[in-house]
A and B are shown apart, each in its own frame.
Chain A
Amino acid sequence: MTSPADNSAATPPASSPPGPAPASGVPERRPYVRLMAALGGMGAVAAVIGALVGFTTDPAFPLPEKLPTLPVRPGMPPGLPTGPGALPSGFPSGFPTELPSGFPTDFPTDMPTSFPTDFPTDFSGGLPSGIPTDGSVPKSGGTR
């Protein structure tokens, strides 16, 4: 003798779609939608906090008191030179710190024209001592 449960199981699943018959006027349950949406909002808030903390404070490792900077002057190339070549050993140190606002015309003629001239004069505290002087500064990317 078959049981009601076996009778229901005899029906192929395709002909009896899963889920109860929707009741008229009763809103469909949407479990966990609000909770997961709230968690997503919490994640967004956490991301904003992380961005605020990260962009407005220094990283945890100690930075030197004086970071080397390269002020931009009109008409001068914007970055450090990226071409090969060693720093000259007889680097002059007597550069003026207050330069005229117009393009300077009184540069020494034996300096390369693409070389920036308004370096900070105080090297001892601002730059690390381990700068390679033989042009072997590694470039980004390494081998490909």
Chain B
Amino acid sequence: MTTAHGLLAPPSGPPPAPPVPRPGLPAAIAVAVALSVAFAMSQVLYWAQPAIASPLPWMRVFLLPESTPFSLTRRLLHVGWVIAAVLGLLLLITYRRTPRTGPGGGVGGRTLRACQFGILGALLLPYAVMPLDILASAPLILLMCLPTTALALLCVHRVQLYRRLPAWLLLTGFSWGVLIGGGFGTVMIVWFQRYAGGYLLDWEHPRDAIRSLYTLLSLNAGTFSEMGKAAGVAILYLLFRRHFDGVVSGAVVGAAVGLGYNLTETVRFMAEIDPGQATTQFWMRQVIGLMAVHVAFTAVVGAGFGAARRLSARKDRLLVVGGGVMAAIGGHFVTDATMPRLAAWTENLFSHDQTLDLLLGVPLVTAVTSGPFVLAYVVILRRGLREQAVGLAEALRGEAAAGTGAVTQPEAEVLLAPRRRLLLELRVWRRDGVAGLRHLRRLHQAQLDLATQHWHRTSPGADPFVPPEAPLRARVRELKGLVVPAARPSSSSEQEVLS
């Protein structure tokens, strides 16, 4: 408990914490460059392809003229590469000329940061053109899909029974899935449709050519769609590593990215690809497949990143991340390759009864194709939550025993019981309204964050990105009204957000 001496004496204490190492931005730029390299390779393949002239109707998909959004994306990316190169040069000059002094790095540090974010924006924002075009051209369909998607996002948020990721981080992941992930995947599919025919059409063996074309189309879609989504999880992990404390947070971020991608894909299929079967598409993608398919694939990717946070050996980190990405690519490919065939089989099975096919056939096909991956992320979440409960119990009891006032023993018992916490929230909401509820949630989350970071710090494999406990403890005491809030140095707020 804080004494009067502690309140009146000038703030004395430990010197400001040294700057948190920030290797995240250069690595995030490397991820964005990887997406650009993939785009450039497709462009080169397109330029180099043999010309074809095919009158066959099913080959016309490879002969369509370039759409305006795709053309705009391509041009903006070319401009973005030039901008990124110029900013990269400026970054190099600034880095060499201005030594970093102090935690913020002064003006030079701000210029460096601005250049880095500018490069990221120049390389990534053009991918948003195609999804924005799709979403803007079908606003009513978008509105129809928003309630189901929002409900799924809320479930994803609430599945975190203890410490929860900040809502803005979840929404950032969701937005990545809608715009950048969705855009990159769409762009790469369009590229394949434009160049594959030239390389693969074989009029000596047309049946084999058609099979190859459509199988490789599925492989292309699976690989680059998952690459786009995984890039989002990777960039969020690299920029906001402090918030990834294990597989639960990783899987949740991945699921949010997958939900965003699913929303864009649903609108695209309902409005452009299969408008005659819009109801079926909504049923498949926004009801039955909402928490399967894309959510499952990207949740597994996110779990890999979350698991990497707890591993000290680089080889292990690469293994868990690579395993997650491989699972997602394989799952997406097998879904695209087999789902149409399975759908035709169920249509025959139910004697072409559309109602039965919708009610039974669609869930059956979804279960067969992405069921194992749904099972995987459910198992990962359960195991992660169980481990969290054990680790948090130890950390909270230790904090209560330390007598700092941040967490008391009765509070520890409530924090470890999600149902009791929910009942308490309802009681506070009835008594104090929304403002009271929000304050209580902020307090609980700050206490759980303090315990989680303590648990993380004392676990094997902890990295230097774990934030110090003193500011977290001070935050909890401030929310409880135990101390008068003092002016915090700006660097600590930066450290809390970007670390």
Q: Which residues of A contact B (CB under 8 A)?
A: 1, 3-6, 8-14, 17-20, 22, 28-33, 35-47, 49-51, 53-61, 63, 67-72, 79-80, 82, 128, 130-132, 137-144
B110 located at the interface, meaning its Cβ lies under 8 Å from any Cβ of chain A in the complex: no
Interface-facing stretch out of B30-38, B260-268, B337-345: B337-345
List 12 extra interface pairs beyond A22-B460, A28-B460, A42-B372, CB under 8 A. Answer: A18-B457, A32-B320, A40-B326, A44-B330, A46-B330, A46-B333, A47-B334, A50-B333, A54-B218, A59-B341, A128-B55, A138-B53
B163 located at the interface, meaning its Cβ lies under 8 Å from any Cβ of chain A in the complex: no
Instruction: Please state if A58 and B203 are interface contacts (CB–CB under 8 Å).
Output: no
Instruction: Please state if B341 and A57 are interface contacts (CB–CB under 8 Å).
Output: yes
Chain A residues, CB < 8 A from B66: 142-144
Instruction: Please state if B323 and A40 are interface contacts (CB–CB under 8 Å).
Output: yes
| B200 nearest CB across to chain A (Å) | 11
Instruction: Please state if A140 and B206 are interface contacts (CB–CB under 8 Å).
Output: no
| B418 nearest CB across to chain A (Å) | 23
7 contacts between A and B (CB under 8 A): A13-B466, A18-B463, A40-B325, A58-B211, A69-B204, A139-B53, A142-B194
B240 located at the interface, meaning its Cβ lies under 8 Å from any Cβ of chain A in the complex: no
Chain B residues, CB < 8 A from A46: 327, 330-331, 333-334, 372
Chain A residues, CB < 8 A from B294: none
6 closest Cβ pairs, A-B complex:
A54-B215, A43-B330, A40-B323, A60-B340, A18-B462, A43-B327
Chain B residues, CB < 8 A from A38: 323
Q: Which residues of B contact A (CB under 8 A)?
A: 3, 13-15, 17-18, 46, 49, 51-58, 60, 62-66, 194-195, 197-198, 203-207, 210-212, 214-215, 218-219, 222, 247, 300, 303-304, 307, 310-313, 316, 319-331, 333-334, 336-338, 340-341, 343-344, 372, 376, 379-380, 387, 399, 402-404, 456-464, 466, 468-470, 473
Question: What secondary structure prevails in chain B residues at the interface with A?
Answer: helix
Chain A residues, CB < 8 A from B338: 49-50, 53
Chain A residues, CB < 8 A from B210: 58-59, 63
Q: A36-B319, A53-B338, A137-B53 are in contact. Are A10 and B470 (CB under 8 A)?
A: yes
Chain B residues, CB < 8 A from A18: 456-458, 462-464, 466
Chain B residues, CB < 8 A from A59: 210-211, 214, 340-341
A10 to B474, CA, bound (A): 12
A138 to B62, CA, bound (A): 10
Instruction: Please state if B328 and A43 are interface contacts (CB–CB under 8 Å).
Output: yes
Instruction: Please state if A19 and B330 are interface contacts (CB–CB under 8 Å).
Output: no
A60 to B328, CA, bound (A): 23
Instruction: Please state if B206 and A68 are interface contacts (CB–CB under 8 Å).
Output: yes
Q: Of the candidates A20, A30, A35, A131, which one forms a contact with B458 in the assembled complex, judged by CB atoms under 8 Å apart? A: A20
Instruction: Please state if B14 and A12 are interface contacts (CB–CB under 8 Å).
Output: yes
Instruction: Please state if B326 and A44 are interface contacts (CB–CB under 8 Å).
Output: yes
A33 to B320, CA, bound (A): 6
Chain A residue with Cβ nearest B463: A18
Q: Of the candidates B49, B53, B56, B203, which one forms a contact with A128 in the assembled complex, judged by CB atoms under 8 Å apart? A: B56
Chain A residue with Cβ nearest B458: A20
Q: A57-B211, A69-B203, A139-B63 are in contact. Are A35 and B49 (CB under 8 A)?
A: no
| A139 nearest CB across to chain B (Å) | 6
A142 to B63, CA, bound (A): 7
Instruction: Please state if B330 and A50 are interface contacts (CB–CB under 8 Å).
Output: yes
Instruction: Please state if A30 and B311 are interface contacts (CB–CB under 8 Å).
Output: yes
Q: Of the candidates A12, A36, A53, A68, which one forms a contact with B324 in the assembled complex, judged by CB atoms under 8 Å apart? A: A36
Instruction: Please state if A50 and B334 are interface contacts (CB–CB under 8 Å).
Output: yes
Chain A residue with Cβ nearest B330: A43
Chain B residues, CB < 8 A from A10: 13-14, 470
A134 to B168, CA, bound (A): 58
